A and B are shown apart, each in its own frame.
Chain A
Amino acid sequence: KAGVTQTPRYLIKTRGQQVTLSCSPISGHRSVSWYQQTPGQGLQFLFEYFSETQRNKGNFPGRFSGRQFSNSRSEMNVSTLELGDSALYLCASSLAASGIYEQFFGPGTRLTVL
């Protein structure tokens, strides 16, 4: 069974640009969650999607958005990039609600904002 895949793996952008990250969950998993990981803040929850609906959202500004497609693949978008958005963005999939089931994490997308 293929694991969670994230593309791209590395990204370099400049301030003010926008970026879209992609995540393909494990086949059969309906929940996709996104996290931001930084040395200072640790792992911070961004949002969770289940069956194309956002079920939960973390404390991030509206510049961070996401969506999920009918095949459970998910994308997250960050607009008007700031230096502080530099981080490892992790995607995780689970069978159903991520708060109940174990999550399977992808390798992450390393975003650097210059």
Chain B
Amino acid sequence: AQKVTQAQTEISVVEKEDVTLDCVYETRDTTYYLFWYKQPPSGELVFLIRRNSFDEQNEISGRYSWNFQKSTSSFNFTITASQVVDSAVYFCALSGGVSGGYQKVTFGTGTKLQVIP
């Protein structure tokens, strides 16, 4: 069974602070994919990043960075110099199975980030 844990339910930071959103996952699959999605107050989920289990390289995209560590089953997301527009609910998600397989995507419960001006 797959499980994604986002222990932080809500986080508040002041604008320009850095913030890290934690994601811990459980899976028995050797091949799996991890995702982060953002759900702004407008409601529509937006894809941020995908990482497969064989690629442990960290990734940076502008103010966003992701740290994938298989040893601790974590895929954490850091926002540097947060802005009010970053206020949203962030979901970490996991899918497992062999390449080409149809495995359901399991979402974490989300972390609500509020950036205060």
Contact = CB atoms under 8 A, between A and B. Distances in A.
B109 A105 contact: no
A104 B47 contact: yes
Contacts of B91: 43
A66 interface: no
Contact of B105 (A33, A50, A88): A33
A99 interface: yes
A107 B44 contact: yes
Contacts, number: 64
Contacts of A97: 100-103
B75 interface: no
Categorize the interface residue count of chain A: 20 to 34
Interface string A72-114: 0000000000000000101010000111111111111000000
Main secondary structure of the interface of B (DSSP, over half): loop
A42 interface: yes
A97 B45 CA distance: 18
A12 B57 CA distance: 47
A93 B30 CA distance: 25
Contact of A99 (B46, B103, B110): B103
Interface string B14-39: 00000000000000000001010100
The size class of the interface chain B forms with chain A is 20 to 34
Nearest to A106: B44
Contacts of B33: 99-100
Nearest to A47: B104
A97 to B, nearest CB: 5
A33 to B, nearest CB: 7
Contact of A45 (B43, B101, B104, B109): B104
B95 interface: yes
A58 B47 contact: no
Interface of A: 33, 35, 42-45, 48, 50, 55-56, 58, 88, 90, 92, 97-108
